[in-house]
Amino acid sequence: MFDVIVRGGLVVDGSGQPGFQGDVAVKDGRIAAVGRVEGEARQVVDAAGRVVAPGFIDPHTHFDVQLLWDGAARPALEHGVTCVVPGNCSLSLAPLKAADRPRVVGMFQQIEEMPPEAFTTAFDWTWEDFAGYRAAIEKALSINVAPLVGHSVIRLWVMGPAAQERAATPDEIAAMQDLLRQCLDAGAVGLSTSFVDIDENGRPVPSRFAQFEELDALAAVLGEYGRMLQCVPEFYATDITIARIDQFAELSLKHNIPTTFSPLFDTSAVPDNAPRAIARVEEQFARGARVWPQMQTRPIDISFSLLRPSLFFARLPRWVRVLRLPLEARLAALRDPDTVAKLVADTGPDGGEAMMGRLILRGGDAAPAELAGKTLSEIAKARGQVPAQALIDLSLEHGLDVAFLSASQGHQSTDRIGPMLAHPLVHIGASDGGAHIASFSTYGDTGYLFSEFVRKGRHLSLEQAVAKITGETADIWGLKDRGRLQPGLAADIVVFDAETIDREAELPTFDMPGDGMRYVRAARGIDTVLVNGEVAYANGAYTEARAGVVCV
Amino acid sequence: MSLPGGETISASPALSRQRRFVTPGPDETVEALALRALPGQPVEAAVDAIRSWNLHIFAMRKPAGLLLGSDVVFVEPPLG
């Protein structure tokens, strides 16, 4: 007697090989048989007309905090994602001394745009070390988690405030090595670092103060375990990205470790950016190095209102400072003529026409319905104002609850991106799941892969696309127990309709702690998701199953 | 490889040539780095050159010119 049999589907097993009609049987959380399965099961999932695939793996997320109150990392799981990798970009929630929590929370808020309530109202800080954090999230996981440990927090633990001031001493580097070993022993699947991020005060994050020798020493520890080194490079500058590829290639070769960098964007502003980076990756792989570029599937769209800080204003520090003020102080600042004059001036001599004119007013908020879909330039002209002034005044007239969409910021050419996603050395990832929650939805990239690049663009076959986000991802990360439908492996399974799988429209929702807002996309075409053999999502609803684990 | 004082990896014959770079040493000033990277040049000219080739450090960063241990510092202009 099996626990579950998924019957009669097109089995696409994550290897990239052609799919075949068959069944998948599950026993004790593991795949027991694949093919024509005889026998009975306590539960049968009818997969007729559907694809049966391994659960999808999302290798670049920031679900570190959300997992403490939401063990499904919603809505990631309903999109078929059964394993997420948090702890990217040098930031994790462990190891972290109690005294350093405010500092790291500030970094999460600045870099990942997470609301302060997420760190203050939804859970108790019960840990300092990595094992303690693991125990805290493992209490109620319904999705699997393969966590990275952040270089910045390791540095902070060992060096205290000096982590953001200077190079480490040999003794401090040795202490970091020991601490990294503890984290890897406790379930971390690798180390993340950052070369670009700043904290809420504009100060570079601790990892950026590290000499190359420090990173080399930490990579040596990763080599003892064969674990991953991840970084966010200076993705906006091709020459620097290539320099990082070269640095990581040397570490990969020297310590025999996989490395990955994310994101790699395509942009019409610098059309040779991604092709040059990929060409360098090809050269480094030819030498035997493993440097996997992560590329996201979705175009870059940013939504925002003046209710909260947004990535949209990243290059306008005065705007960021004002939007970080408490609501009453923010309203006062936006009503102050001198402050507004400076804000408008910051957007350029054209009053923001070039920077903001193409913004589209979103519907569904407090703004007048008749303005929905109009550009800020159109709205500003009708008001006799420049765009930046119109944005501020219109927002003030409606309690700041006026949302704008900055569409097509880059990475939007399906014809250019499709072949790159299909490239054998390009790792599909970089979703940023759980981060930038008030700027865009980081959920649904897998559905978009199938709708845009399999069905519409035909850049990847169904089997290739599945392999990219399952078997190949598991191989890259050394997740030996995941990513394929093979007897003996963990039974992470997704049943979906190949003709309809997609992401739904991006909508604001208010399900964050403290009624905080985030943008989400629901899934389309996902029937059933099993995690470690238990049905975690079916028929449009989450179940009570809590079979997720920290997987290594 | 970009270890202080060393050659950059772009010199490897197995790879196409890319812009050469170094990384700053502990507490290294831009003047010291410029002299290390561009030996034989007058210090002012060397510093001016380093600044002009690394706008990500000397123009886009706040505070401008703050050298970080992890920085990529190019020691030649963009390749044509």
Is there a contact between A237 and B56 if contact means CB atoms under 8 Å apart?
yes
What's the pLDDT tens digit per position in A279-299?
Answer: 999 999 999 999 999 999 999
Which residue of A lies nearest to B26 if distances are taken between CA atoms?
A167
Interface with chain B: mutation pick from A152, A212, A270, highest number of B CBs within 10 Å? A212
Return the HEC string of B22-76.
ECCCCCCCHHHHHHHHCCCCCHHHHHHHHHHHCHHHHCCCCCCCCCCCCCCEECC
Average pLDDT, chain A: 95
The band of A364, judged by pLDDT with boundaries at 50, 70 and 90, is low
ipTM score:
0.90
Weakest-pLDDT range from A70-79, A117-126, A220-229, A359-368: A359-368
Put the strands of the sheet holding A404-406 in their side by side order.
A302-304, A404-406, A360-361
Q: What's the rounded Cα separation, in Å, for the pair A95 and A74?
A: 25
Q: At residue B7, does pLDDT exceed 50?
A: no
Residue A204: DSSP 8-state: B
Q: What's the rounded Cα separation, in Å, for the pair A440 and A519?
A: 6
Chain A residues touching B55 at Cβ < 8 A: none
The band of B12, judged by pLDDT with boundaries at 50, 70 and 90, is low
**Predicted local confidence at residue B63, as pLDDT:** 83
Is there a contact between A209 and B69 if contact means CB atoms under 8 Å apart?
yes
Q: Is the CB of A207 inside 8 Å of chain B's CB atoms?
A: yes
Give the count of beta carbons closer than 10 Å to the beta carbon of residue A456: 11
**Which residues, 6+ apart, have CB-to-CB distance to A276 below 8 Å?**
A238, A242
**Which residues, 6+ apart, have CB-to-CB distance to A462 below 8 Å?**
A12, A19, A51, A450, A454, A498
Q: What's the rounded Cα separation, in Å, for the pair A113 and A105?
A: 10
CA distance A202 to chain B (A): 8
Chain B residues touching A213 at Cβ < 8 A: 3
Of the candidates A254, A219, A261, which has an alpha carbon nearest to the alpha carbon of residue A240?
Answer: A261
Q: At residue A272, does pLDDT exceed 50?
A: yes
Q: Which residues of B have a CB under 8 Å from any CB of A?
A: 1-4, 8-10, 14-16, 18-19, 21, 23, 25-27, 56, 62, 66, 68-72, 74, 78
Answer whether A115's CB lies under 8 Å from A155's CB: no
**Predicted local confidence at residue B61, as pLDDT:** 87
Beta strand pairing call for A291-295 and A259-261: parallel
Q: At residue B3, does pLDDT exceed 50?
A: no
**Which residues, 6+ apart, have CB-to-CB distance to A243 below 8 Å?**
B2, B18, B19, B21, B72
Interface with chain A: mutation pick from B60, B70, B74, highest number of A CBs within 10 Å? B70
What's the pLDDT tens digit per position in A21-74?
Answer: 999 999 999 999 999 999 999 999 999 999 999 999 999 999 999 999 999 999
**Predicted local confidence at residue A57, as pLDDT:** 98
Q: Is the CB of A240 inside 8 Å of chain B's CB atoms?
A: yes
Backbone angles phi, psi at A510, to 5 degrees: -125, 60
Is there a contact between B15 and A287 if contact means CB atoms under 8 Å apart?
yes
Between B13 and A387, where is the model more confident?
A387
Q: Which residue has the tokens 């990535």?
A: A311
| B72 vs A209, A240, A249: nearest CB | A240
CA distance A147 to chain B (A): 24
Chain A residues touching B10 at Cβ < 8 A: 246
CA distances in angstroms from B5 to B34, B59, B75, B77, listed in the order given: 11, 25, 12, 19
Q: What's the rounded Cα separation, in Å, for the pair A134 and A140?
A: 11
What's the pLDDT tens digit per position in A454-484?
Answer: 999 999 999 999 999 999 999 999 999 999 9
Indicate the class that CATH gives domain A56-299+415-481.
alpha beta
Instruction: Catalogue the E-assigned strands of A101-189.
Output: 144-145, 149-150
Beta strand pairing call for A149-150 and A302-304: unpaired
Q: At residue B10, does pLDDT exceed 70?
A: no
Q: Is the CB of A552 inside 8 Å of chain B's CB atoms?
A: no
Q: What's the rounded Cα separation, in Å, for the pair A371 and A384?
A: 15
Percent of chain A with pLDDT over 70: 100
CA distance A249 to chain B (A): 10
Is there a contact between B14 and A283 if contact means CB atoms under 8 Å apart?
yes
Residue A464 structure tokens: 């290739």
Alpha helices per DSSP H over A291-375: 317-323, 327-335, 337-346, 353-356
Interface with chain B: mutation pick from A89, A164, A194, A239, highest number of B CBs within 10 Å? A239
Sorted by where each begins, the domain ranges of chain A are: 56-299+415-481, 302-406
Q: Is the CB of A283 inside 8 Å of chain B's CB atoms?
A: yes
Is there a contact between A249 and B9 if contact means CB atoms under 8 Å apart?
yes
Q: What's the rounded Cα separation, in Å, for the pair B3 and B22?
A: 7
DSSP string for A527-539: EEEEETTEEEEET
Is there a contact between A280 and B18 if contact means CB atoms under 8 Å apart?
yes
Interface with chain A: mutation pick from B72, B73, B74, B76, highest number of A CBs within 10 Å? B72
Which residue of B lies nearest to A211 if distances are taken between CA atoms?
B69
What's the pLDDT tens digit per position in A502-548?
Answer: 999 999 898 888 778 899 999 999 999 999 999 999 999 999 999 99
CA distance B23 to chain A (A): 8
Degrees to nearest 5, angle at CA A49 with A46 and A53 = 75
| A202 vs B27, B56, B62: nearest CB | B62
The band of A410, judged by pLDDT with boundaries at 50, 70 and 90, is confident
**Predicted local confidence at residue A365, as pLDDT:** 67
**Predicted local confidence at residue B2, as pLDDT:** 42
Is there a contact between B18 and A213 if contact means CB atoms under 8 Å apart?
no
Helix axes of A337-346 and A387-397: crossing angle, nearest 10 degrees: 130
Cβ-defined contacts of A132-140 (< 8 Å, 24+): A132/A94, A133/A92, A133/A93, A133/A94, A133/A95, A133/A96, A134/A94, A134/A186, A134/A187, A134/A550, A136/A68, A137/A67, A137/A68, A137/A71, A137/A550, A138/A549, A138/A550, A139/A71, A140/A71, A140/A546
What's the pLDDT tens digit per position in A122-136?
Answer: 899 999 999 999 999
Q: 3-state DSSP call for residue A493? A: strand
Percent of chain A with pLDDT over 90: 85
What's the pLDDT tens digit per position in B26-77?
Answer: 999 999 999 999 999 999 999 999 999 999 999 888 788 899 999 999 999 9
**Which residues, 6+ apart, have CB-to-CB distance to A166 below 8 Å?**
A209, B26, B27
Chain B residues touching A279 at Cβ < 8 A: 16
Q: What's the rounded Cα separation, in Å, for the pair B10 and A284?
A: 11
